[in-house]
Structure formats: C-alpha cells, structure tokens
Amino acid sequence: MKEKLEQLKKEFDKAIGNSVKKEDIEQIRVAFLGKKGALTSIMKEMRDFSLEKKKEVGQMVNAMKSYIEESVFEYHKNIDEKEIATRLNKEWVDISWPAYPAQGTVHPVSTVRKELEDLFTSMGFEILDGPEMENEYNNFMALNIPEDHPARDTQDTFWLKNGMLLRTHTSPVQIRGMEKRKPPFKFIAPGKTYRNEATDASHEHTFHQIEGMVVDRDISVANLIYTLKAIISNIFGREVEVRLRPSYFPFVEPGFELDFRCQICSGKGCSVCKQSGWIEYLGCGMIHPNVLKNGGIDTDEFQGFAFGGGIERLVMMKYGIDDIRHFHSGDLRFLKQF
C-alpha cells in the first residue's frame, strides 16, 4: 500500500509538473481526488483492512490527500500572482507624478487680489468689473479731469486707433457703477490698468489697481481712514499704521494720499521706503460733487469717498519683491516661489 501511495505521489508530481493553466490543474485534481480518482479508489480498497491497518494506511492516505490539495492550492496561487504581475507591468501608473508636465501656481497678484476681494466682500462691498478698453468720457471727462490736465497727455495714455483708450486707472468703473445703482452703495473694482510709461523697478506699463467707492448719507474722511486701515492691516496680518497727506486728484475734494508704515523696516527707515519709514500707497478722498452729479446722484443728500491704488505695490511689500517687472516677466523661477 505504501508503495502504491508513493507511486501515486510520483504520478501526481509528474502530472502537475509545469502546469500553467487553471483548467489543467483542475483536471489533475479530479483525476486524483475526484469520486473516480486514483486516491479515492485506494481508499475504497481499505474497506477490507483490519482496524489496525486501516489506521496506519488511513494516516498515509490523509497525508497524501493534504499534499495534493496543498499543491493544487499553491499552483492556483502562483498563476494568480503571475497574472497580477503581468497586469501591473502593463497598466503601471506612477501616482506620484504631477497630472501635467508643468503644474502652474497662482500668480501672487491674483492671490492678493483675491484676499482683497474677500476682505471687502466681508465688509459688505460689491465687486464690479469694467472693460480695459475705455472711452474718453469715463476715463477722463466724467471724472472731472479737464481737457488740459497732464494725465490726458498722449505720453501717459495708450490711445487706440478707434478713438478709445486703455484705461489709465480703475476710476472709470466709478462712473459705470453709479450709472447702474441708486445710493447708498459701496463697491470695489479691481483690474488691469495701462500707462504709457518707461519701465523701471517701480513702474510698469501694465499693472493692477483696486478702486473703491462708497456713497451714503453722513460719510466722512473718518470712514475712509477706518476702512483702508482695516484692509491694509488684514493683508499684513497685523495692525498697520496709516496716515493721510493732502494731495490733488480732480475727482476728489478734499484729496489725499494714504501712506502706511513700511512693513520691511517697521518704520525705522530702509531703502524700500527711501528712509522715510512710510510707503506712499494710494490716492483717495471725498468724491467731488461734479463726479456724483455725473452719476446722477443728489449731492444734497449723499456724499462718499473713493480710493484707488496699485495692487503690485502691496504684493511687493507683502512678499519682499524688489522689482515690479518680475510680475510680467513670465520667469518660472520667480513664479514658482509662490
């Protein structure tokens, strides 16, 4: 009996040999363990054995059965693993790679613009958009800028062949905004502006401004100071001191320039603030009655303040950027830092 089982084992090993197909393995399993299988017929022979022999042979038969079952399981497992490996080889994807060859980052001007929009929205301001190609009326006339004002000089303005111009500031959106709403209202208008200027470290021909306009009853310079101080402090994440200096813009009266404490040297004086400790930041003032009238607003009942300033200047101070020309350079080494 023992020899028979050993013979059977040899036959099984030979049969299963280098089987690589699951069907072949299944056939071999049936040939040995099935109802009419080789091992089953050996077990049948055991019926006539004495109890002692049954016990002895039974153990050998069981061991043989386990051996075949385990081998079959191992062969199946090997085939499964090989299939998975082949599939992985074919369908392999490195998930650590970026989705696109060069992944972009948000431009720092966009980041600060978004921050400004969020801050003003939280204070109840609307956000308006205006066209970059403007007419002379909105950019100059309606803003009380007289015909002979130097700002109108062709040296400063990009005039287009169709008689239009590239807006030199975001202030024309004041006119557009007033046309469509009744006071009280408050809105900001961030966007691109253009000036026909020679460029240097602090001047660009194309830059961004943010305009603001608030029209209501009982508006004073105090409201203007409060609003701008709150916004600038929020952008820098700490309280920032501001001050007003008298200045002239045809569309405000009185007009001011707002400065804030240099955030590079904390006001001690450095090359960025030209040793003054202050950064000249934006133009502002109480809206000139002529401008309100051009917008159809009753100046006996309403007044307001307006402001307009460059966004790049704020970004430069926030991130310590020393040359405004970096923004449009398209230099990836610059852009990738953000």
Report in angstroms how near the CB of residue 159 gets to ligand PHE at its nearest.
17
Give the whole-angstrom CA distance, residue 302 versus residue 289: 10
Q: Would you tell me the crossing angle of helices 51-91 and 22-33 to the nearest 10 degrees? A: 180
Across-strand partners of 226? none
C-beta separation of 152 from 124 below 8 A: no
DSSP state, residue 259: E
Work out which of 134, 240, 308, 317 binds ligand PHE, going by CB under 6 A. 308
Report in angstroms how near the CB of residue 325 gets to ligand PHE at its nearest.
20
Work out which of 183, 285, 295, 304 binds ligand PHE, going by CB under 6 A. 285
C-beta separation of 64 from 39 below 8 A: yes
**Nearest in space to 196 (alpha carbons), one of 229, 133, 154:** 154
x-marked contacts with ligand PHE along 158-187 as a string, rule CB under 6 A: -----------x-x----------------
Nearer to ligand PHE, 64 or 309 (CB): 309
From the list 93-101, 267-275, 278-286, 314-322, the region that binds ligand PHE by CB under 6 A is 278-286
Give the whole-angstrom CA distance, residue 187 versus residue 180: 12
Nearer to ligand PHE, 241 or 253 (CB): 253
Q: Give residues 288-307 in contact with ligand PHE (rule: CB under 6 A).
A: 306-307
Q: Give residues 245-274 in contact with ligand PHE (rule: CB under 6 A).
A: 249, 252
Report in angstroms how near the CB of residue 148 gets to ligand PHE at its nearest.
18
Report in angstroms how near the CB of residue 330 gets to ligand PHE at its nearest.
25
Report in angstroms how near the CB of residue 101 gets to ligand PHE at its nearest.
40
Report in angstroms how near the CB of residue 242 gets to ligand PHE at its nearest.
15
Tokens encoding 164: 């239009």
Nearer to ligand PHE, 28 or 173 (CB): 173
Exposure b/e, 92-115, CB count within 10 A at least 16 = b: eeeeeeeeeeeeeeeebbeebbeb
Give the whole-angstrom CA distance, residue 290 versus residue 75: 93
Report in angstroms how near the CB of residue 331 gets to ligand PHE at its nearest.
27
Give the residue ranges of DSSP H helices in 281-326: 289-294, 311-319
Work out which of 38, 231, 235, 284 binds ligand PHE, going by CB under 6 A. 284
Tokens encoding 217: 């009853």
C-beta separation of 181 from 204 below 8 A: no
Report in angstroms how near the CB of residue 93 gets to ligand PHE at its nearest.
52
Work out which of 108, 130, 177, 283 binds ligand PHE, going by CB under 6 A. 283
From the list 65-73, 220-228, 277-285, 320-328, the region that binds ligand PHE by CB under 6 A is 277-285
Give the count of residues interacting with ligand PHE (CB under 6 A).
Answer: 10
Nearer to ligand PHE, 284 or 315 (CB): 284
Nearer to ligand PHE, 29 or 313 (CB): 313
> Is the backbone peptide bond immediately before 254 cis, with ω within 30 degrees of 0?
yes
Backbone angles phi, psi at 190, to 5 degrees: -85, 150
From the list 21-29, 37-45, 82-90, 283-291, the region that binds ligand PHE by CB under 6 A is 283-291
Helix (H, G, I), strand (E, B) or coil at 202: coil
DSSP state, residue 288: P
Nearer to ligand PHE, 29 or 167 (CB): 167
Can you say whether the dihedral through the CA atoms of 272, 274, 276, 282 is positive or negative?
A: negative
C-beta separation of 240 from 233 below 8 A: yes
Report in angstroms how near the CB of residue 200 gets to ligand PHE at its nearest.
18
Contact positions vs ligand PHE (CB under 6 A): 169, 171, 249, 252, 283-285, 306-308
